[in-house]
Amino acid sequence: MQMLDAARNALRLPDLRRKLMYTLFVLLIYQFAAHIPVPGVNRAALDSLLNSQAAGFIQILNLLSGGAVSQFSVLANGVYPYITAQIILQLLMGVIPQLEAIAREPGGQDKINQYTYYLAIPMGLLQAVGQINILQSYSNQAAAGQVLPGFGTDALLTISVLVTMTAGTMFAIWLGNLITEQGIGNGLSLIIFAGIVAQVPRSLGVLLSDEWAVFNLLAFVVLTFVTVIVIVVMEQGTRRIPVQYGKRVRGRKQYGGGSTHIPLRVNSAGMIPLIFAQAIVTFPAIIAGLFPPGQVGAWLQETFGTRQGFWFWVVQFALVVAFTYFYTDVMIQNQKLGENLQRQGGFIPGIRPGKRTQDYITRVTRRITAAGALYLGLVTVMPGLMVIVDYIFTGRGDISSVSNPAQVISSAGLIIVVGVVVDTMRQLEAQLVMRNYEGFMR
């Protein structure tokens, strides 16, 4: 009831209602654009790929493109090139002092964002070439004809396709920024969220068409319920570090002397490591598509293109854990909690202010991040674990990503969905509290 009352209150407020309608309008524009195909696409060949071994690869690209890859639309690149550019710049800031100095200057973050946009353009071109080549390769294996006949041989077609797909990437980023600036929630996350939700009906239909439909449906319901519970519990888990403020006397008045705490979340990085890992894990298959067929290229496409096999899940687990630690460390260092506490007259009992406090916070954060990283890693490899469970109960030696109950809405997708919903609800709650209304959450 409280959530329904808060939703009604949100719709009663003209400015908040306008933000909600604006967000939905931009998402509708994205979904319409996601159905505009690139020039020269062979729809019959693309349809055959959706039911072949390449379906797993198409699904992960769909995750980052908002469902545009299944239509091979002008937005088929999605926001993946921009995410890759962010990863590259974050890594470069750790090894190039000039970039780190720029980020710390007033207005420096705006410059870094500008560099990210510039870098997203060549990354978009690279992804377009690799993505088309690998889909062409899968299409040839399925003997259904090429997805883009003439690509690479017809200069005009090749240039138009690459320019269109790169422009589509920048258009998607622009739409995401519009939501962030004038709507509710994080725009890029909402675009990915909308793409995940849009794929659920079709994936569920494929799941129920299998001969093990009852088992698949039961497994899907149980997995989704348990995963959502785990996600909510872990995402809300915090470690509280006590902080004491010393008393200060100014004139005849005394200030400070109170105590509070710093809430350190078990999963401070949120869903960012999953998005980064999902983006990076497609890179080997895309790179393999840039080169002539060979033993190494075939292994990369088979492992990372189909999203199956032992090595794929090991790499994905390792990437999620590594990015969780990396992004959490970056956040903690950028927040400079030790320096800020010292400036405000606060201290952690038993810990010297300044650098010792920062080191202590970093050490505690890394310890609790171990649980968060393990949780994210296990959740993201849930589809691989489902193969083992499926073998135990049904005897099927292999379960494709198409009929895998954990792939209807993947565990990584669930974290993104839950994270985006919670983040959006918090923003709505903040807007309501500012206007003296009760929010969604207690």
Walk along the chain (442 residues) and give the pLDDT tens digit of each residue: 455 666 666 677 777 888 888 888 998 898 888 888 888 887 777 777 766 655 556 666 666 666 677 778 888 888 878 888 887 887 787 677 787 788 777 777 788 888 888 999 998 888 888 778 777 776 666 555 677 887 878 888 888 889 999 999 899 899 988 988 888 878 888 887 877 777 777 777 767 776 767 777 787 777 778 777 887 787 777 888 888 776 665 656 655 566 777 888 888 777 678 777 776 776 666 666 555 555 555 666 666 655 666 777 788 888 888 888 888 887 777 777 777 777 777 777 877 877 788 888 888 888 888 888 888 888 777 776 776 666 666 666 555 555 555 555 666 667 777 777 777 777 777 777 776 655 445 5
Q: Is the dihedral of CA 281, 283, 287, 289 positive or negative?
A: positive
| Cα 213 from Cα 206, distance rounded (Å) | 9
pLDDT at position 399 is 58
Nearest to 72 by CA among 44, 41, 48: 41
Q: Is the dihedral of CA 127, 130, 134, 137 positive or negative?
A: positive
Q: What are the backbone dihedrals phi and psi of residue 282, each rounded to the nearest 5 degrees, phi first?
A: -85, -15
Q: Cα separations (Å) of 33 from 27, 72, 128, 207, 257?
A: 10, 11, 17, 27, 57
Does some domain include residue 441? no
| Cα 255 from Cα 344, distance rounded (Å) | 11
pLDDT at position 217 is 76
pLDDT at position 121 is 92
| Cα 216 from Cα 196, distance rounded (Å) | 19
pLDDT at position 200 is 75
Q: Read off the tokens for 402.
A: 């198409």
Does some domain include residue 65? yes
Q: Read off the tokens for 69.
A: 């890859």
CA dihedral 425→430→432→436, nearest 10 degrees, is 150
pLDDT at position 41 is 81
How many domains would you assign to the chain? 1
Residues 6+ apart with CB under 8 A from 250: none
pLDDT at position 294 is 56
Please give the model's pTM, rounded to 2 decimal places. 0.70
Does some domain include residue 439? no
Does some domain include residue 153? yes
Domain that holds residue 250: 2-434
Does some domain include residue 440? no
Vertex 428, ends 425 and 431: CA angle to 5°? 150
Does some domain include residue 162? yes
- 259-265 sheet: strands from edge to edge: 259-265, 238-245, 346-347
| Cα 195 from Cα 314, distance rounded (Å) | 26
Q: Read off the tokens for 397.
A: 């030696």
Reduced to 3 states, what is the DSSP secondary structure of residue 354? coil
| Cα 228 from Cα 243, distance rounded (Å) | 33
Does some domain include residue 442? no
| Cα 49 from Cα 43, distance rounded (Å) | 10
CA dihedral 51→67→317→266, nearest 10 degrees, is -150
Does some domain include residue 300? yes
Q: What is the CATH number of the domain that holds 101?
A: 1.10.3370.10
For residue 148, give the H/E element and its range. none
Q: Which residue(s) pair with 197 in the sheet?
A: none
